[in-house]
Chain A
Amino acid sequence: MTHTTKIILAGEGGQGIQTIAKVITEVAAAQGMMVSYIPVFGVEQRGTPSVALIILSNEEIFYPRFDNADYAIVLQKRAVSSVESYLHNKTKIVFDSSTIGAENLPKEAIHRFGIPATQLAAEKFTPKAFNLIVAGKLSQVLNLDEDRVWQKIEKLLGKKFKTTEIREKSKQAFLFGRQFVFELKHFSKPIFQPATGKIVSKNAEKTALIDPERCKGCGICIVKCPVGALKFSDTLGVFATPVPEIDLEKCIACGNCFRFCPDGAIAVTKNKKFK
């Protein structure tokens, strides 16, 4: 009997969506399944939703048409809209409950499974390991072999594990993900959401304005600050990347950050009477 599983993975570009998809499909193929994997990119390489369409089957896949998903995995709030058209009333939707509130999911998503991967990764492992938690859980759900999956992850991400500590933490994150039990009714609070509004800081001489709705976290202002007054903070910008914070005591209001910022997210001036 034909047994087909259709999975759609969606998140922000650069989150590792395509890496997870490659790991899953290559291991599934090595275990004798028939697979189809279609990456979907927008015109921009980063900062737009990145989607992967996967079909796993025990018989040959003659045509990789993707309509109704059995599993939909969403990792970022802005990616929710890109899975909407693939949902039906039997789709099991897995979402990162620390970045997406359950109320933001579409109505069709009846079977909801929460996994606060971003929060867990930031608290227990390294912040970037959240995709390994998801990969671990997904490989467990799909009955993929643990060792094979880890070997494939090491092969694909080996260059990014620069120290043995990062490698160890990543492996722990992966194993933790495999054993994780989904949140079914009581989801975590979506605390990792982009900040809104404007951050204004003031002292007697200077006023600084940082706009997290525009900041993409490139870090050019931090590199170009001649006195080291800027550093990354815990606030998140529009792409869920950290926003810089300013130390006005060190700042000399030279205007370099303002001049270099490609997104127009920061400005500092001297207050009028000190000009």
Chain B
Amino acid sequence: MLNTIPKSWNSKLKPHLFCPGCGHGIAFKQLGFAIDGLGLQKEITMGVDIGCSLLAWNFLDVPTIQTHHGRTTPLLVGYKMVRPKRIVISYMGDGAAWGIGLQNIIHAAYRNNPVTVIVINNENFAMTGGQASYTTLPGTVTPTSPIGKSPELGAGFKGPELIRNVAHKEAYIARSTVANPIHLLSTLKKAILSQKENNNFALVEVLSICPTNWKTNAKASLDIAIDMEKVYPIGEVR
């Protein structure tokens, strides 16, 4: 029998709660393959944050834990201290990671805590209606920037580059995109292995698509994702 989903997905809760064409689904597919490929399903603990990432509750068939506004990372750091053999994945959106919860990631990276952080960057606050966020590129029209986001409000927040400056030199920090699932899969595998084998901090920012709030069809949203790579270059951040 053909399998349409990774083995580590929780097939009881499908179809999932994300919108049609959501980038979270593509990111989770590759995360599922990464976990399947490494054979780590029984060792993983997921932490999800508030925002659209909250809908990922029990998405994978692994123990899931949830808290708000970027505090998923320190929560899992504590969890890892108590249970050092578990592999912890902290999953959040760009609002939680680069906005309200930024200090949590900075300190986890500074202390080189063994935790894998996955940040889904869809360039807006998607669950509340697509308002402009820190990572929105100048000129983008959103409900809070009806004539296009002003360049004075920032040229797009580059989180991984910021974390690179404070992180331990062995930490794995990279950026990938849902428009290139093969690259995404290898990046996620490296990020999980960085924690498992070397006990290092790992951060992957995933450029994602948001057809509901961008009001685009499938082709246009993937084109925007590819355009984003000009500002947010994919690959390892050194």
Contacts and interface: CB of A to CB of B under 8 A. Distances in A.
Interface of A: 43-47, 200, 207-209, 211, 213-214, 216-220, 222-224, 238-239, 241, 258-267, 269
Interface in B11-40: 14-26, 28-29
Contacts of B2: 200, 207-209, 267, 269
Nearest to B26: A262
A112 B129 CA distance: 36
Nearest to A224: B222
A103 to B, nearest CB: 25
A222 B4 CA distance: 16
B5 A260 contact: no
B193 interface: no
Q: How large is the interface on B (under 10, 10 to 19, 20 to 34, 35 or more residues)?
A: 20 to 34
Contacts of A209: 2, 4
15 contacts: A43-B127, A45-B212, A45-B213, A47-B19, A209-B4, A211-B4, A213-B15, A218-B21, A218-B218, A220-B26, A222-B218, A258-B4, A260-B26, A262-B22, A262-B28
B217 A262 contact: no
B181 interface: yes
Nearest to A218: B21
B211 interface: yes
B17 A44 contact: yes
Contacts, number: 90
Contacts of A239: 20
Nearest to A266: B4
A218 B4 contact: no
Interface in B161-179: none
A122 to B, nearest CB: 20
A219 B25 contact: no
Interface string B174-194: 000000011000000000000
A218 B3 contact: no
B55 interface: yes
B42 to A, nearest CB: 21
Given A259-B181, A262-B18, A265-B4, 18 more contacts: A43-B55, A43-B127, A44-B18, A44-B19, A44-B55, A45-B19, A45-B212, A214-B14, A218-B22, A220-B21, A222-B218, A223-B219, A238-B15, A239-B20, A259-B29, A262-B26, A264-B4, A264-B29
Nearest to A241: B20
